[in-house]
Chain A
Amino acid sequence: MTNDLIKALKKAAGKTDLYRKMIEEIEDYAIILMDKHGFIQDWNRGAQKIKGYTEEEIIGKHFSIFYLPDDLESGLPGRLITEARKNGRAGSEGWRRRKDGSQFWGSITITAIHDDEGEVIGFSKVTRDLTEKKKAEDKLRMSEQRYHKMVAEIQDYAITLLDENGIIENWNSGAEKIKGYTASEILGKSFEIFYTKSDRESGLPKRLLQTAREKGKAIQEGYRVRKDGSRFWGTIVITALHGNDGKVIGFSKVTRDLTQQKLAEDQLKAYTKELEFQNIELEQFAYVASHDLQEPLRKIQTFAHLILENYDDKEFVKRYFEKLGMSAKRMSDLVKSLLEYSRLSKDMNEDSSKQIKVDLNELLSEARQDFELLIQERKAVIIAGKLPVVRGKRTQLGQLFSNLISNSLKFSKEDPVIRIESTLVKREEIVNEKEKLKYKNYYKITFSDNGIGFEQQYDKVIFSLFQRLHGKQDYAGTGIGLALCKKIVENHEGVINTVSEPGKGATFNVYLPVIGQVKALTAERDVK
């Protein structure tokens, strides 16, 4: 039967020696001739090269010799033969064994050979060694797998894949961690879901996609919304993904949560601003020290010289001694004021937890007592509404009340009337120094009088250290009272402003923040 096969084959395929030679010398394919049971009958050079057996060693052996134990156990060689017999051919890829026991990845095609009557008389088996290709493929697959794993498991970046319309197609664990949605909750939704309402309304997400589409990528920083509604500060890079034809087929979106950094940055900015502010204060202080304190000192020295030069003129000496004394007193007043002011600055940097609930009604009645004599003397009237309880430093707020009332009494004409009232206002209602307003609601406490007033253009100067609108001879004082008021209000995170017109009285508005529970205690009596 074997001889029949060879004869038939030679008759069918190898009519010429040339043809046979061709098969024999092919090196890249193992071409094996088997009988109908799978026993090897012929063997080319490629087979020897790939499988390592010589022709003598292999002829007559069953082709299952190339198979690994597992494949043998599962009956793979038999199945292949059966299939080839039935269908004419059978193909398979898998690890096979060489003579030396090493393995190669073979791609095998077994083709049935028929006689003239259509009976299967044997098989040809063509095997190709694709080990290198297999290894490269495996490597690529591993690499892809690793890459997917890497993207999936990155925690610090939300990496999402969007389709060309911004619908989320892929979602890594970083995205889940940062944004709070699981993959099943978010896949298929638009990425606009992460944007704030106002950003969505302004069309920001659409603009970003458009930019990425046109320029390749879009970079943006801003607040985004988590699943629970909380916000985070994200830096976002959206990169367009292109198909082979150059068309945009989707986008990758990498988001990083920089909330902590943003907060730190904001805090740094606040510190810098605070420092700048303190620097300005320091400069003002240095100017005051160099100018305002020098003035009475210079006068004292001048008067002393004059007294010495006119020692015999008794009248002259008396007059200038008095002046000298007044200058010394002024110097002393200035130094005291400065000390008071610097103490307030120091207080400001202290722990705010030292603040307590202060009933402003109590402060007012204390101030009334302090000024009792002056009020009687001037025939002054203080009309006050119910005042709130605020959180703050009692002594400072007491000084604020005292300074503002004394100011109204000092710059009054006849029969001074001072009105003190409180209302609850929203931050938006306050017109000046908006950048300093951190709270939602404020108590607006107004001190208005019917005094001499001043021109509105001096509404800022009036609060500066040692700045006066009137000559020292007209109204006493060092020019620190309102500077202290401003400092105290600022210490309490509030603002102060003033409205006036010459001859028509002045109004000082003090805005103190409504903090926490204090509101509940006092809101009832304030909102009438």
Chain B
Amino acid sequence: MAYTQQKKICLLVEDDIDDQELFDLCLKKTGKNVICSKCNNGAEALNLLKSDPDYVPDVIFLDVNMPKMNGLECLQKIREMTRFNNTRIFVYSTTSDNMIEKKSKDLGAQGFIAKTTRLEELIIQLEGIFASVETM
């Protein structure tokens, strides 16, 4: 389908520049056609999403622990905006805490990705996510 050729839009909300870099590295390895923008915290992400009505990412990745506004708060605010009803949101965090995973789902996240020491795991997860986005 012509669709599948189209670039997918992704937003990574992450305050740690190392983690931003590692994410990019993995995304590249998936070979998917994705443009990934970055914000350093939840507040910055909300400003971006509110400022441009045409900007609707296909997928948003939210770190949890960030200055100013944490990922869960940001998730809640995004889900309040109907414009992003089709946007898939994944919470992406070091904290392997069941409560945070549950809260993410309750707030409307499609999934929870734990930051691991093996980048292969992240690559496989990203491949899966973008494969399903392509068939949307």
Contact = CB atoms under 8 A, between A and B. Distances in A.
Interface of A: 290-292, 294-295, 298-299, 301-302, 305-306, 323, 327, 458, 467-473
Nearest to B100: A291
Contact of A291 (B95, B116, B117, B118): B95
A468 B22 CA distance: 22
Contact of A471 (B17, B22, B65, B116): B17
Interface in B109-136: 115-119
Contacts of A472: 15-17
A290 B116 contact: no
A346 B94 CA distance: 29
Of the candidates B19, B25, B117, the one having the most CB atoms from chain A within 10 angstroms of its own CB is B117
Contacts of B94: 291, 294-295, 298
Nearest to B25: A306
Contacts of B16: 295, 471-472
A290 B117 contact: no
A327 B25 CA distance: 18
A203 B17 CA distance: 67
Given A294-B94, A299-B18, A323-B18, A469 B117 contact: no
Contacts of A458: 68
Contact of B117 (A292, A305, A470, A471): A305
30 contacts: A290-B95, A290-B97, A291-B94, A291-B95, A294-B94, A294-B95, A295-B16, A298-B94, A298-B115, A298-B117, A299-B18, A299-B19, A302-B116, A302-B119, A305-B117, A305-B118, A305-B119, A327-B18, A458-B68, A468-B67, A469-B67, A469-B68, A470-B67, A471-B16, A471-B40, A471-B67, A472-B15, A472-B16, A472-B17, A473-B17
A306 B123 CA distance: 13
A294 B118 CA distance: 15
A298 B116 contact: yes
A301 B118 CA distance: 8
Of the candidates A294, A295, A305, A323, the one having the most CB atoms from chain B within 10 angstroms of its own CB is A295
Interface residues of B, number: 20
B87 interface: no
Contact of B15 (A290, A291, A302, A471): A471
A416 to B, nearest CB: 22
Nearest to B14: A471
B13 to A, nearest CB: 12
Contacts of A291: 65, 94-95
A323 B116 CA distance: 17
Nearest to A467: B67
Nearest to B44: A471
Given A295-B16, A306-B119, A471-B16, 16 more contacts: A290-B97, A291-B65, A295-B94, A298-B116, A298-B117, A301-B117, A302-B22, A302-B119, A305-B119, A306-B25, A467-B67, A469-B68, A471-B15, A471-B41, A472-B15, A472-B16
Contacts of A306: 25, 119
Of the candidates A292, A306, A468, the one having the most CB atoms from chain B within 10 angstroms of its own CB is A468
Interface string B1-41: 00000000000000111110010010000000000000011
B130 to A, nearest CB: 21
Contacts of A327: 18
A409 to B, nearest CB: 20
Contacts of A295: 16, 94
Nearest to A291: B95
